[in-house]
Each structure stands twice: as C-alpha cells, then as structure tokens.
Chains A and B, each alone.
Chain A
Amino acid sequence: DGGITQSPKYLFRKEGQNVTLSCEQNLNHDAMYWYRQDPGQGLRLIYYSQIVNDFQKGDIAEGYSVSREKKESFPLTVTSAQKNPTAFYLCASSKQGANTFGSGTRLTVV
C-alpha cells in the first residue's frame, strides 16, 4: 500500500535536547511538508520541500530544521531552540493539489 509513514508515534524529549522525527513516503510525490497542530490553532506549516535537495521555511520555522536528501524522506529535527515544542507533528506529501498526511508524531517535552 502506498502511503506516508511517520515514526515514532510518541516521542518524549528532555529540555535542551534535539530530536528527529522521521517521515517516509512511497507515493512518488515530489512535494513534502511538515505541519504542527496545536489545540484551537489548526495546522501551521513548518517547512516544505518541492524537490530533492531543496526546502523552504514555512510560517513557523524557527527552532526547526529539515533535510531532503532523497525523494522519499523528509526528516524534521526539533532543536533546543524551539521554546514550545510539545505538539502533534504531521508530515504530508502532494503531487498536485491536496496533501496526503501521515499518522503523526506526538512530541512531549518532559
């Protein structure tokens, strides 16, 4: 089955640590995205990538970093510079138009 796989499903981070969230897709989509979802705020775009080796900042990129070395993979690193990282993170991809989403990673700072 084609789809988007996010791992891990749950992640706990100590303050001051960097953590990396995995996103892999086998849909052969060119574009990939990372969103953050908080209660009452909807989805906010962190980073997006339209082609391999290229990515752009979204609306809330501060404290995050990404790479796009392969078409299938778009990992997100939440750095210690992100002051409020506890949230639900969603990865998505698209060929034309609507996003297809993964099942999400819930990150909690402890």
Chain B
Amino acid sequence: QKEVEQDPGPLSVPEGAIVSLNCTYSNSAFQYFMWYRQYSRKGPELLMYTYSSGNKEDGRFTAQVDKSSKYISLFIRDSQPSDSATYLCAMSRPSNSGGYQKVTFGTGTKLQVIP
C-alpha cells in the first residue's frame, strides 16, 4: 500500500464549477500537508501549506485536513480554464534518521476546466 493515495483522474469540469481534489494517507506521522499545481512541462508550484486539521483559505482555494480520517482535500471555487493542470498533494514527516522532513508526494490528479 502506498503511503499517499491520489486519484490520477483526469477530471473534467465546466468553467465556474467547484472542484474537489482529494488524497488519503496511511502514516499518522505526517505533520505538514501541501498542495502543488503543475502545468505541463513545468515544475510544481506551491498552492497551500497547512499544519493542523481544519481549513485554510486563500482566494478561490481552500485546503482541508482531517487527521482523524487521514484525508486531505483541495477545493477550487469558480474554476477557470487557467486552473487546468495537474494537482499534487504532498505531506511530510520527520525522517527515520532524524533532522529532516521527508516529503511524500501523491501521483497527481489531472484537471481540465472546459470553457
């Protein structure tokens, strides 16, 4: 079983829709939770970075963490064609050797917002 599971999609939605992207994880040691957006042939860019359970909002984006269920979500309101990209979840925990936060990435969900 992978430490982090993410549906690869693709997910197609009409412009203006609310998008829900999700990841589940198995390791309760994960402390920090992140969402990245990656356009084709580009490096990932950080969208959201959270520590505790609960919601964090930034413009049209809301990140939600439920540590009890080991489940994280990213919601995109009023989706735009420019949101079409691959969205990667990521989470980090102290490494077994100590002194380092080991980051584990999901495989990414490809999103297409249709005008």
Collect the chain B residues with CB atoms within 8 Å of residue A48's CB.
100
Chain A residue nearest in CB terms to B47: A98
Chain B interface main SS type? strand
Describe A's contact surface by its main secondary structure.
strand
Could you tell me how many residues of chain B have their Cβ less than 8 Å away from some Cβ of chain A?
26
Q: In the complex, are the beta carbons of B49 and A42 less than 8 A apart? A: no
Q: Interface residue tally of chain A, by bracket?
A: 20 to 34
- CB pair B41 A106 closer than 8 Å: yes
| A104:B46 contact, CB within 8 angstroms | no
Q: Is the CB of A42 within 8 A of B107?
A: yes
Q: From B44, B100, B101, B108, give the contact of A90 (CB < 8 A).
A: B44
- A41 near B100 (CB under 8 angstroms)? no
In the assembled complex, 24 residue pairs joining A and B whose CB atoms fall closer than 8 Å, in A order, are A4-B43, A40-B8, A41-B107, A42-B4, A42-B88, A42-B105, A42-B108, A43-B44, A43-B88, A45-B102, A48-B100, A50-B100, A92-B43, A97-B32, A97-B101, A98-B32, A98-B49, A99-B103, A100-B46, A101-B43, A101-B44, A101-B45, A104-B41, A104-B42
